[in-house]
Chains A and B, each alone.
Chain A
Amino acid sequence: MTQIAPDRPVPVPDALTAPYWEAARAHRFALPRCEECGRFHFYPRSLCPYCYSPRLAWTQASGRGTVYSFSVIHRAPSPAFAADVPYIVATVALEEGPHLMTNVVNCAPDNVRIGMPVTVDFLDLGDEALPVFKPVLVES
């Protein structure tokens, strides 16, 4: 995923999610954390999904996790991704608990494994930046 296609879909932040994308633009990885029960959650909610408190704060996260599952895409969903195939769509189990979807980058499609430790990186997409994840150990 080196060349970014001009028509590649870009996230459009809304009132709830703006802090996430604002952090990403600065290449920081932040997650919502409940100030009542202390748990992190993702994707963003208006109320803590565990204790229903509205006292949520965007909190710097480690950016570390492991691959929970993955799929290597061989057929692009739209022309914007056609030049990228094969690429890896994965869900990552973050150290803080939540799971999220991402791309695993800097990793040959044949080498991605469930349980593989990964760390956050950022892909600049026009005005926004997309959190992606790369293997912790550089491949030989």
Chain B
Amino acid sequence: MSAQSAIVGIGQTRVGQIPDRSALQLQSEATQAVLADAGLGIGDIDGIIATPARVEYWQAPCGVVANHLGIRPRFMATVDLAGASGAAMIHQAVMAIESGQCETVLCVTGQNLLSNGSRAKAVKSMAESGSAHPQFEVPYGPLVPSLYALVAQRHMYEYGTTADQMAQVAVTMRHHASLNPLAHKRDVITIGDVTGSRMIASPLHLLDCAIVSDGAGAAIVTTAARAKDLKHPPVHLLGAGYGVRHGPIGEHMKLTETGAIDSGRTAFGQAGLRPADVDVAQLYDCFTITVIVELEDLGFCAKGEGGAFVEGGRIGLGGALPVTTHGGLLSAGHPGIGGGFFHVIEAVRQLRGEAENRQVQDAEIALVHGNGGVISVHCTLILGGPSAA
């Protein structure tokens, strides 16, 4: 991919419990933050990419959000790849700009998933909202974690992956979140805390599961020419890929392999890079097992070796491959469809050298991976800092 465009702004709300804020209010707050970060005004925005909300129904969400923010776009799109939306929004903004359709795109997503209703309501609605097949799965009473638990159980059976190895992912995410002032859960935890937490859907314990949060995030993508005059060093998209190999998890014939194999291969191919070139990987972490499978499918280790890979500090700050350095969905926060957008924001921070006490030394290449559905829909981005263009 050429570097004719660049991410020039990132912004977000605090993530956690933010009562009395609607989805549009949270997105407005993130938009104010991203405009300030980029040094642009709302009048500079001529394209918008939004997502649906899950907490309320919006007809043509990109239109609803554009109208609320006062944008008169030359390009607009609603992107819904569930958890992979955050990554996909950035790629689609780049395509809109590089095709000449518009110059400066606002990507914004987020909602009040926690405060909109009780946690029990969120759990029930997620269980019935399409993660599980309405006829062939929902009647059997699968909780969303149980759908990923099927992957975890099979991974343990085929490759000897252990509960402690999965717990290591949660422990690492919490450590990263403890260094992130915008994160939801910041108290450090141990492997024993994870494996000793309540069993939700075996083999996944409570702390193997993402949290539920309120929050919103935004980014601005513009032309490389325009980026030269702006405040921050530009971050470029070097490659992007998509993948889907199954729909509902029950019919998936190979539970330990996913469309991340395809999305990763395409993204690395476009970028002309290999996994060993990646300095920091912002992997989607809705459950601990998700990170282990992604590490394998994206080629950071061989199939079956993901459990061993996450041990020994390898995925932590200072490790060979720091993963999801803001603390991810497991600890920094998960407002639903926008959850994966914070992975993009953190990748940009790392490439700008602005991640403060979470900074990965000399980070020049970042991978962002989003996963939606039940580990079914995938989007991988490879981003490069100013020197990578």
B150 touching A91 by the CB < 8 A rule? Answer: yes
Per-position 1/0 for B350-361, Cβ under 8 A of A: 000000000000
Q: Which one, B122-130, B175-183, B335-343, is touching chain A?
A: B122-130
B141 touching A70 by the CB < 8 A rule? Answer: no
B140 touching A102 by the CB < 8 A rule? Answer: yes
A77 touching B141 by the CB < 8 A rule? Answer: yes
Q: How far is the CA of A100 from the CA of B247 in the complex (A)?
A: 12
Q: How far is the CA of A70 from the CA of B250 in the complex (A)?
A: 10
Cβ contact of B151, chosen from A69, A75, A98, cutoff 8 A: A69
B201 touching A72 by the CB < 8 A rule? Answer: yes
Per-position 1/0 for A1-17, Cβ under 8 A of B: 00000001111111001
Q: A43-B133, A76-B143, A101-B248 are in contact. Are A71 and B153 (CB under 8 A)?
A: yes
Per-position 1/0 for A75-119, Cβ under 8 A of B: 111101100100101110000001111110000000000100000
Q: Look across to chain B and name the residue whose beta carbon is closest to the beta carbon of A10.
A: B139
B32 at the interface (CB under 8 A from A): no
How close is A7's CB to chain B, nearest CB, in angstroms? Answer: 11
B141 touching A101 by the CB < 8 A rule? Answer: no
A13 touching B135 by the CB < 8 A rule? Answer: yes
B154 touching A73 by the CB < 8 A rule? Answer: no
Cβ contact of A73, chosen from B134, B141, B203, cutoff 8 A: B141
Q: Look across to chain A and name the residue whose beta carbon is closest to the beta carbon of B253.
A: A99
In the bound complex, residues from chain A placing their C-beta under 8 Å from that of B138 are 9
How close is B159's CB to chain A, nearest CB, in angstroms? Answer: 12
Per-position 1/0 for B127-161, Cβ under 8 A of A: 11000111111111111111001110110010000
In the bound complex, residues from chain A placing their C-beta under 8 Å from that of B153 are 69-71, 114
Per-position 1/0 for A55-77, Cβ under 8 A of B: 00000000000001111111111
In the bound complex, residues from chain A placing their C-beta under 8 Å from that of B123 are 77-78
In the bound complex, residues from chain B placing their C-beta under 8 Å from that of A76 are 141, 143
Q: How far is the CA of A68 from the CA of B150 in the complex (A)?
A: 9
B362 at the interface (CB under 8 A from A): no
A69 touching B141 by the CB < 8 A rule? Answer: no
Q: How far is the CA of A14 from the CA of B199 in the complex (A)?
A: 36
Q: Max chain A CB contacts within 10 Å: which of B154, B157, B202, B248?
A: B202
Q: Look across to chain A and name the residue whose beta carbon is closest to the beta carbon of B136.
A: A43
Cβ contact of A87, chosen from B137, B141, B145, B247, cutoff 8 A: B141
Q: A68-B154, A73-B146, A77-B127 are in contact. Are A103 and B141 (CB under 8 A)?
A: yes
In the bound complex, residues from chain B placing their C-beta under 8 Å from that of A70 are 150, 153
In the bound complex, residues from chain B placing their C-beta under 8 Å from that of A17 are 135
B251 at the interface (CB under 8 A from A): yes
How close is A47's CB to chain B, nearest CB, in angstroms? Answer: 15
Q: How far is the CA of A38 from the CA of B377 in the complex (A)?
A: 29
Q: Look across to chain A and name the residue whose beta carbon is closest to the beta carbon of B142.
A: A89
How close is B198's CB to chain A, nearest CB, in angstroms? Answer: 7
B133 touching A101 by the CB < 8 A rule? Answer: yes
| Known interface pairs A9-B138, A71-B150, A89-B146; 20 further A-B residue pairs with C-beta atoms within 8 A, sorted by A's residue number | A8-B141, A12-B134, A68-B255, A71-B146, A73-B201, A74-B201, A81-B141, A87-B141, A89-B141, A91-B150, A91-B249, A99-B250, A99-B253, A101-B132, A101-B140, A101-B142, A102-B250, A103-B140, A103-B141, A114-B157
Some 7 contacts from A to B, beta carbons below 8 A apart, are: A21-B135, A71-B203, A74-B199, A77-B127, A77-B143, A81-B141, A102-B250
B residues neighboring A (CB under 8 Å): 123-124, 127-128, 132-146, 149-151, 153-154, 157, 198-204, 247-253, 255
